[in-house]
Structure 1
Amino acid sequence: MTYQTDGGPENGTGFGSRLKRSRENAGLTIDEVSQRLKTPARIITALEADDWSILGAPIFIRGQLRSYARLLGEPMPEAVEEAVAPQSEAVKLVSHTHTPRYRRLAEQAGRRAIYIVLTVTLVAPVWMATRSHLSGSLAPAQSLDLPLQAVDADGTTPAPSSPSAAERQPLVASMAALPERRETATAALTLRLHGDTWVEVFARDGSLIEKGLLISGQVRSYDAQRVGRVLLGNSSAVEVQNAGKHVDLAPFSQANVARFTLSSDGSLAPVAH
């Protein structure tokens, strides 16, 4: 589909024709503009021809036109701004990673049951082996180093005296506390929106996780082990965190559009064009 403004490209009065004339007057080639904007030459050609069909969503078109017009010092006509303005009604996003409430409750109950079983399995044998100290029936321990018995003058052995209190050593049983169980949170890829942004998130198998226009102020989180590829329009308005760490989008951005892949070890890499 070809979009036309200010009369269309046929009579040379479209905004794309104005950009082309400005480029030629400035003595720039398409390849030179492509290098300055870090944008493929076919995108520059499509902008000059008012052919927006290969550029995708309106928010991408607006970003490309603004960057090109700013380079050449051309103001954006109001008609063009309106033509590429995003829809006022946000696209309804359907989450494919929602977990029903009953399932979350069942998983929590299962984890608690496992914890109780493990606790009983570890503590019961120790308690059984040391339960005698609870009844207070432990006999005092006596030293094995017994003194030599004295012999009277008539050859008889006197009755042994009872051990002193200092010689009695109580038997004490100690049981170390079990280590605390902590669950490790799943690594997550989080998007925080500070402006309206077009988002496309794909799984490692190529299936679509989420696609649509997110509104400023929204937050989205995804399982990093599942995400394979991400595309962010208006990337300057997106704050990305991977496993709780801030991600710099500059290495993955061109013309305010970020594209990157997420590997199994959690590292990010740019998408090859």
Structure 2
Amino acid sequence: MTSDPVGLQLKRAREQKGLSDSEVAQAQHLRPAVIQAIEAGEYGQVDSELFLKGYVRAYARQVGLDDNKIIADLDRELEPLRQKREQEVEANPLVDIERRRRRKRRLARVVLLLSVAALAGYLVFAFVLPESDMTAPAESTEAPVTEESPEVDSEQAVASEEPSTLASQVPAMPVVEEPEAPQPEAEIVEEPATDPVMDSAADDSVPVAPIETGSVAAPATESVIQAPSEPVAVTETGRLQISFRADCWVQVSDADGERLVNSLQRDGDRIDVSGDTPFRVVIGAVSAVDSIRFQNEPVDMGDFRVVNNRSEFTLAN
């Protein structure tokens, strides 16, 4: 069963209560033209759907209707208007600019993560790999020492066998001095035995050079670590304070579009919010605002445009 339009339901209930549209408008601090537009179903004259629902809910309560049922009926009537407004928002160039800003923020986060990963890879390459390279030469220098020792022994054995062989080949000359002749040759053969030892001692000092090289390269690595990888964006924070002397719908959004306030304020209420500026502020009933302070400084509402007792403006540092 299709119910009557919301405006007709409100008008019928108002007439049963014996109230005029001016009395309803005065109770809500609105102009009578706004109440007349609601009753006529001309919802486009109210800029914000949020404030329209607030006006209709307060109207329904004032004339004794179920405000939840009235709001449900209003949602069905607003669907075509809502689609039209979404199309207008998509065509707005400011929406495209905001999308680009968000895309740039996401790109900056990705670049920062990649920079951190690259820095971690550089630290592994600069500190972990040199330590493994320094241990490898130490093991390779010890191996030749053990391999050269058998060669030295074989040369000494050959040198010791040469005198006996010569002696056996000359039996007819019993000269005593001939066995002594190989002694200088044995000394000559034994001299290379000491050279590998000296070479191995020289080779043992080879690992020292990479250690010193690593200690010298450390300051250069520290300078790379201390270098900034990505500039950090600095945002400005603002503070907004509003006090009210009557019922008023208020909406406050920060620079990222996040809504800090989106509710109906009563007489004597006060909001105090902080966030990234600029702030986008929508006041549903300017006459209900007692005072506005931004960054602890008073704000003159006369500097902003007011239409149907409603004002929408931006506050920035």
Q: TM-score under structure 2 normalisation?
A: 0.33
Q: Whose radius of gyration is greater, 1 or 2? A: 2
Q: TM-score under structure 1 normalisation?
A: 0.37
